[in-house]
Structure 1
Amino acid sequence: MASGFVNIRRDVDDKFYRYRMPILLTKIEGKGNGIKTVLPNMSDVARALSRPPSYTTKFFGCELGAQTSVDEKNERYIVNGAHDANRLRELLDGFIDKFVLCKSCKNPETELIILKVGRQEDIIRDCKACGERTGVDMRHKLTTFILKNPPIKARKGKKAQNGDAAAGVGGGGGGGDLTPENGAEDAADDGADSDDELTRKIKAEAAELNTDTALAKEDWSADTSPEAVKARIKALEGTMAATVLGGDDEGSDDEDSPYAQFGNWIMEAPEPDDPKALNIAIYKKAEELGIEKKHKTVLILVTIFSEDVLEEIPNFAPLFKKMVTSEKHQKALLGGIERLVGLAYPDLLPQIPKILMALYQDDILDEDVVKHWATHVSKKYTDKDTSKKVRKASEPFLKWLDEADDEDSDED
């Protein structure tokens, strides 16, 4: 019902910011003393914040000194009186700051938990991004309502039911669409589909792929008009900024961090005639900053690619082989490819099988890592829908891997 989406943190101007929510809508009903403001898409907004819609509605009432009405069964949320939409959106920003954003890293990927020490009860924001637990201001009137109506926690390992989702069950913010990968990265994957379900969905959707995405097809097409190229370059610059200042590592959201310096250096580095010289220069810069062995460095390194990525991979393959030294590095590389193809250059989506093939044949990516990545939709690097699209487009390459395995088994 919402007419558009905005960043959960509206002070973040990055259009590739992966935490999004619907724009809050309002509708004035009634007259005189019976006038009221209806919030028709409050359930959608609250679901994006992973908070019960009753919390946000009651927050408005507390801030405006107005009575509120909450009907979760029919998803009808009302604030008595006539209230301007922009004013309510400003108040929603206040709710996000006080009850959603991690106080430490300002990431919305948090859930509320209630801690009891004796008779004392405190409401804590448990951040799935940085691991910090930060308290809320217990002097706010909403905290009394939260303590009386604690958030319902979804059962571990099962997808939240529709009612739970509307009540804000599960992990952090970001529209419930941010889904990091395995290991430590799985911490922010609460509420995501199970691996088996995702595998079935991806394979079912892949069957509907246009034949242009077949691995053997050679007539890959893209809009090469000056306007389209300019737009993609602008998009890539935004992705670079999101990558460098994404906050994935400690201190990485600091513009003076070595990651930010490395990203800026790559963006401004002159392109020599000899690719080998550029490879050496890039590695020396990473070494100078002390991040040549860090997996996030690989994520940033992907921004060196343009829409001509297939032609560029052979030139930079030696550099990636030197810097991609573990499974974690490979996951960062795949995350960077997701951003490159899914966000910066969407026209490259049909080429994802060829990109993966090139990296695989250069021994930069391992089969097991690619297969795990392809069947585990992740919101760590892009929004969930984009993540699914990229993985769906990779199905021809996965099929090729399976067929190659079958042939090896037959030969044995």
Structure 2
Amino acid sequence: MAATVNIRRDVRDSFYRYKMPVLLTKIEGKGNGIKTVFPNMADVARALNRPASYPTKYFGCELGAQATFNDDTERYIVNGAHDQNRMRELLDGFIDRFVLCQSCKNPETELLVSRDGYITADCKACGYHGDIDMRHKLTTFISKNPPKKAGKKGKKGAAGADSIAGQPGQVDGVEDEDNDDDELTRKIREGAEKVMTEEEAARLIAEREKADDWAEEDTSPEAMARRMAALGVSADSSLLAGDGDDDDEAAGPYGEFAAWVSEQKGQDANGLSAAELYKEADARGVTKKPHRLLPVLFPALFDEKVNAELPKYLPVLAKLNTSEKTVKALGGGIEKLVEAYPDTIKAVPKILMTLYQADVMDEDAIRHFATHVSKKYVSKDLSKKVRKAADPILQWLDEADSEEEDEESESE
């Protein structure tokens, strides 16, 4: 798997939300038949939300070389031997001209071709709608081969999982928590609306039953503490009573929401959807501080079967993972999971791999997690054991980086 880079390579922030695989090149043939092949162009193009033929054709236009492509076999070629760094610079040019919004510079744009052949870019992030510069040769090709409209369920992302946030290269955390126009929010809302319509009557009945049974439900601090203990979270009456300080994630609404999740999972292991989970979290207001929610949510949501359940809730984790602070909290959630279910320490490498492939955690975040022992969420000894268990993912990342360097050296 190729390493990922920011779609805007001028942005140095390692937590920048828009990612794409590093463009790889391979020289084939000799003499007049020499050509440059792009083995992962399909993945790069999916991350950019553009047909792979567009950047390939762009390279041909810029280099004055013949470009050939086959979407069925995912083989994309430009005649001649071309330096890998040069091709990546040309890709930056393509992104600037045909991917980035000219207003907000985010790559959340869709190309629209009018009947008379004019191309406009529609930005889903800021609402900008403007014309593409029609002077470039590629515009003729785009006009004759307009992009196909994506289906409602979306395409596979660059990492091979469903696009987490539904936006270019976002198989990552969402940085703008208040951006209600992003694709993940739309999907979650659509899912929540379906849940609402399907369970309208059931909810009314449940509310009546809850009102009737309220006196019978044990809401004492001791009962809440027992429910919290099942999550591997220390809880006392003072924590359950109020919102608590900013360092105690088990406090108040966060611990209560985690207890609710645990109860829902206990009642029906397959019944709690990602849309329901996020909708309830948002209704309770706990999504406003995801760095406090994630450490208690992870052990409430998962158990020994974490690797089977994790893909189902990746959209929610991606939505909550908004900053460097929350990615550390997500690591704390993994530690809390191991504390609650010791056998899950064997699953740590696969958990991290799944989060990496979905761009919920990028390479820098995983390396930081796997090498920095912390006693913020669990004991120092347990934190060391979790880091030791993460060694295989570090070795895999080192090997992937080494292979990429070898490919670059061979290309040069």
TM-score normalised by structure 2 residue count: 0.49
TM-score normalised by structure 1 residue count: 0.49
